[in-house]
Amino acid sequence: DIQMTQSPSSLSASVGDRVTISCRASQSISRYLNWYQHKPGKAPKLLIFAASSLQSGVPSRFSGSGSGTDFTLTISSLQPEDFATYYCQQSYSTPWTFGQGTKVEIK
Amino acid sequence: EVQLVESGGGVVQPGGSLRLSCSAAGFPFHNYTMHWVRHAPGKGLEWVSLISWNGASRFYEDSVRVRFTISRDNSKNSLFLQMNSLRTDDTAFYYCAKDKETGGGSYFFDAWGQGALVTVSS
């Protein structure tokens, strides 16, 4: 199985801050990497697919980069509605695995 | 608008069974691979199972492979997960999720339901 490791596990940030979350795969997954946002009690939401493609309807302050084993999700200017847990997920091979999540909290 | 609504969650004793259902609307259900993903308390998301658009291909995460069965009824826009021999570590919210691409699938998820809570406890 491909292991996905996110860092940090949690972070505190203020509205307007630039936030960067990292995701590392245990083997090369090319650009088969996706990012989700999950708020308590709500359905997870696809933000970024294929490492850097923005899902329709997602604000442009979200961006993704990387290939191979190292990937990054960036929120250019954190908004109040962005406080949530973020997960990366590889779609390279079964089982399709997620990172452990990064919780973004209000400073 | 895509809508996915899970039902059938509840409390069950270890060793028991439960059947989850997912009702889909707002897209051509019969064209899409569908998935189940779960979220256990205090843990991350975990992919559980997928079924291809025509039901011909099914895949499972190792820990559920011989205990869970995924199925679908395209005439009723419905997805199912039959869960047998349930264990305490199966306790989680179970989400029905739509694959982003038609046909063979892309193996990532562009629409999710609100989740059904399954609690396995004596």
Per-residue pLDDT reduced to its tens digit, A5-43: 999 999 999 999 999 999 999 999 999 999 999 998 899
Task: Give the best residue of B109, B114, B117 to mutate against chain A (max A CB count within 10 A).
Answer: B109
**pLDDT confidence bin for B10, thresholds 50/70/90:** very high
Is pLDDT above 90 for B104?
no
* CB nearest to A46's CB, from B39, B110, B115: B110
Q: Shortest CB distance from B47 goes to which of A42, A95, A101?
A: A95
> What pLDDT, in 10s, does the model give residues B19-74?
999 999 999 999 999 999 999 988 999 999 999 999 999 999 999 999 999 999 99
Q: Which residue of B has its CA nearest to A88?
A: B45
Minimal-distance CA residue of chain A relative to B108? A91
Count, residues in chain A = 107
Instruction: Give every CB contact of residue A68 below 8 A, 6+ residues apart in sequence.
Output: A25, A28, A29, A30
User: pLDDT value at position B103?
Assistant: 75
Distance between CA atoms of residues A49 and B109, nearest Å? 9
Average pLDDT over residues B116-120: 98
What was the pLDDT predicted at A107? 86
In the predicted model, is pLDDT for residue B116 greater than 90?
A: yes
Position A39 scores a pLDDT of 94
Indicate the pLDDT class of residue B106, thresholds 50, 70 and 90: confident
State the pLDDT confidence band at A106, using cuts at 50, 70 and 90.
Answer: confident
